[in-house]
Structure 1
Amino acid sequence: MKYFLIAGEASGDLHGAALMNALKKEDSSAEFRFFGGDRMASEGGVLLKHYREMAFMGAIEVLMNLRVIRKNMELCKQEIMKYKPDVVILIDYPGFNIKIAEFAHTHQFRVYWYIAPKVWAWKEWRVTKLKAYVDELFTILPFETAYFQKHQLKVSYVGNPLLDEILESKKKFRKREQFLQDNHLDSRPLVALLPGSRVQEIRYMLPVMSRLASLYPDYQFVISKAEALDEEIYRKFCDHQPLKLLSGQTYELVHHSFAALVTSGTATLETALLNTPQAVLYKMAGGGLSYKIFQWLFLKVKYISLPNIILGKETVKEFVMDQMNIDAVRPELERLLEDKVYRGEMLADYNRLHTMMGEPGAAGRAAREMYRLLGS
């Protein structure tokens, strides 16, 4: 069968490649054309547009690149019509893909969406478009199934690809002593700092994180650096603290850390799945009033971190906007480092989270179900 896939970000390229690999095992005649990246290209088929030419973040960057986005959209539509695939598979990337879903559906192509948009968190009005244009949603968070079924969408929960990524990474983890030695770290307990992968996140999170680091000389605070960003960006917001930066070793750093301070996002779930106690920090541009307006207009969830959303309780403390300051975060970090009972309770909740998330093999389950549906 002929598959047309669209991934507009690095994470989508990773998940798309795993899905393509799994589809080839189900369908020996599988052919691919796609918007994606190098990982998807390594699985074969024709790469039509690299995600590097598509990944625009934030309102200003999107506005500045509207012409490019429109060209990418037109190219995508033309290629779908030319290729005439058996199915169009959308991978996350909702702003672009929701429009392609409408186009593909209108032209009577079957539409599957792998890694459904987080409309339960914000922009809930998109649910009506998903219902109208998408034949099957493949979800990766356990609570999403009931949410989408409530809105009368066809949905399959396939598990979370993070479980596969972490499982594969763990096979290559070094012993703690070797990890410390290879990275020129001393024997003090580690605290991982995950300030995010965007400059705006780092600008807000890292000054607070680095000042907290200076208060705990018995611990070794290490920053997880995004590979795509220059080291100087981190140094600029480090409050003159000589903190170690590690690139391309986030999972292993978190695994070997005694605790972590984490910017809200997927990293909070990864940290929980790696069983490291954490506190979650978040701040956006515009101050408290902007966030209140954003909350009122768009945000539909009680918590901002995935572990809390999945568990339905505040397992990890969240410090948002004005609450994200040294005076507020310091007592929580103190508990994470010194309160054994508190750490134990958090780790017990993590165990429940593991059970709720299910087993690795998300891409394989998604591919099997897609192939079954296409043949029915």
Structure 2
Amino acid sequence: MKYYIIAGEASGDLHGSNLMKALYKEDSSAEIHFWGGDLMQNVGGTLVKHYRELAFMGFAEVVLNLKTILNNIKFCKEDILKFSPDVIIFIDYPGFNMRIAKWAKLRGIKTHYYIAPQIWAWKENRIKEIKRDFDKLFVILPFEKDFFEVKHQFPVDFVGHPLIDAIHNREKTDEISFRENNNLDEKPIIAILPGSRKQEIAKMLHVMLSIVDDFSDYQFVIAGAPSQEFHFYEQFLKNKNVKFISNKTYDLLSVATAALVTSGTATLETALFKVPEVVCYKGSWASYQIAKRIITLKYISLVNLIMDEEVVTELIQDKFTSKNLKKALSTLLDENYRKSLLAKYDTLEAKLGGIGASEKTAKLILKDLK
């Protein structure tokens, strides 16, 4: 079979690489062309375009790069026709992928969506396009199955969360070597995950670092995003007794005692590493006011959304202060609280379906094609 996969971000590259491994295992004659990154390229197949060329975030940036985006869409359509795949597998990245899916469906090409857009959070009206343009939908959060099937009468397959595979399959971190190689002492580690974009790092990091001196028995370590250079972080580190490690977030989480985490996928990753966490987020006043009116979710973190209760503390907008953060972290370091939280993390992982999301998805794709 011939597979065309489109992943437009770093997370899609990770999940796409694991899906590709599973497809090659299930289909020994598989031919795969893909948009993705280094991880997918390491598996095999033919890289069409790297996600670094597609990373346009925010309204202004999209407008400024509109010509490039339109050229990418045109090129993608031409390349699909040239390759003539049996199926296109879309991974997240909805702005681009849903445009291509509409075009492909009209030409009779099979369309499968793996890691569907989070329309349950906002833009719920996109369900009309999803029903029209996709043959199969593979969802990774347990509540998504009810959302699509019960609320919108669109059958989907819940395959489990691929992050469990990514964490389970990774090479284990040797803590002694990790500490030595990164000049860390023997103190327990508080990991700081301030996000990946400059704007959110700038808003989050100074508050996160403001409590460092109150916890002298611990060492704070910033997880630098692969998309940012160290010199960007330097402005926040003056006179702060903190360490900085770039592009080793999973290694850091595997040895951390607790974590301060900017809202996003990282909140779920931290929970799956069984690290107690405080979830933090602060946007601009205008953005927050708009988001409040568009998004009607009870919680902001995936951990709490999946569990449908406040398992981890969320400090959002005006609640994200040094005082509240210090109190929340102190609670995390209490042994009785930690035991209760880790037990709920185990329940969370069970709800996510355990390991095997990539294999389940590959089998379902092949079954549909046959």
Q: Give the TM bin, normalised by the shorter chain.
A: over 0.9
Q: Output one character per residue of 1:8-29: Cα deviation in whole Å (capped at 9) or x when no partner.
A: 1122122222212211222222
SS state at 2:311 partner: coil
Task: Using the TM superposition, name which of 238-247 and 319-328 deviates more.
Answer: 238-247
Q: Which residue of 2 aligns with 1:100?
A: 100
Of 332, 337, 351, 1:336 maps to: 332
Q: Which residue of 1 aligns with 2:359?
A: 364
Counterpart check, 1:211 vs 2:210: yes
The 5 A counterparts of 1:181-220 are 181-220=180-219
Q: Output one character per residue of 1:96-144: Cα deviation in whole Å (capped at 9) or x when no partner.
A: 0111111111111110001111111122121111111111111111211
The 5 A counterparts of 1:48-197 are 48-150=48-150, 151-169=152-170, 171-174=171-174, 176-197=175-196
Counterpart check, 1:16 vs 2:16: yes
Which residue type is aligned with residue 268 of structure 1? Answer: T
Q: Which residue of 2 aligns with 1:248?
A: 247
Q: Output one character per residue of 1:178-210: Cα deviation in whole Å (capped at 9) or x when no partner.
A: 432232112221111110111111101100111
Q: Which residue of 1 aligns with 2:224?
A: 225
Which residue type is aligned with residue 304 of structure 1? Answer: I
Of 307, 323, 326, 1:327 maps to: 323
Which residue type is aligned with residue 290 of structure 1? Answer: S
CA contact (8 A) 2:142 2:352 kept: yes
Q: Return the offset for 1:371.
A: 0.1
TM-score, structure 2 as length reference: 0.96
Inter-partner Cα distance in structure 2 for 1:42 and 1:242: 38
Which residue type is aligned with residue 36 of structure 1? Answer: G
Q: Output one character per residue of 1:335-359: Cα deviation in whole Å (capped at 9) or x when no partner.
A: 112x222222211211110111122
Q: Which residue of 1 aligns with 2:288?
A: 291
Inter-partner Cα distance in structure 2 for 1:260 and 1:270: 11
Q: Return the offset for 1:323.
A: 1.2
SS state at 2:211 partner: helix
Q: Which residue of 2 aligns with 1:272?
A: 271
Inter-partner Cα distance in structure 2 for 1:120 and 1:202: 26
SS state at 1:237 partner: helix
Inter-partner Cα distance in structure 1 for 2:186 and 2:366: 51
Which residue type is aligned with residue 7 of structure 2? Answer: A
Which residue type is aligned with residue 220 of structure 2? Answer: F
Q: Return the offset for 1:43.
A: 3.2
Q: Which residue of 1 aligns with 2:37?
A: 37
Inter-partner Cα distance in structure 1 for 2:179 and 2:53: 37
Q: Output one character per residue of 1:230-264: Cα deviation in whole Å (capped at 9) or x when no partner.
A: 11211212353131001232122222222110000
Q: Which residue of 1 aligns with 2:340?
A: 345
Inter-partner Cα distance in structure 2 for 1:140 and 1:125: 20
Inter-partner Cα distance in structure 2 for 1:223 and 1:367: 36
SS state at 1:255 partner: helix
SS state at 1:108 partner: coil
The change in CA–CA distance for 1:46 and 1:290 in structure 2 (over 3 A counts) is: closer
The change in CA–CA distance for 1:258 and 1:39 in structure 2 (over 3 A counts) is: closer
Inter-partner Cα distance in structure 2 for 1:344 and 1:149: 36
Inter-partner Cα distance in structure 1 for 2:110 and 2:233: 45
Of 305, 310, 315, 2:306 maps to: 310
CA contact (8 A) 1:23 1:30 kept: yes
Q: Which residue of 2 aligns with 1:300?
A: 296
Of 343, 350, 361, 1:355 maps to: 350
Which residue type is aligned with residue 161 of structure 1? Answer: P
Which residue type is aligned with residue 167 of structure 2? Answer: I
Inter-partner Cα distance in structure 2 for 1:332 and 1:38: 38
TM-score, structure 1 as length reference: 0.94
Which residue type is aligned with residue 356 of structure 2? Answer: G
SS state at 2:72 partner: helix
CA contact (8 A) 1:202 1:237 kept: no
SS state at 1:173 partner: coil
Inter-partner Cα distance in structure 2 for 1:45 and 1:290: 41
Q: Return the offset for 1:367.
A: 0.4
Aligned length: 369
SS state at 1:42 partner: helix
SS state at 2:241 partner: coil
Inter-partner Cα distance in structure 1 for 2:155 and 2:4: 20
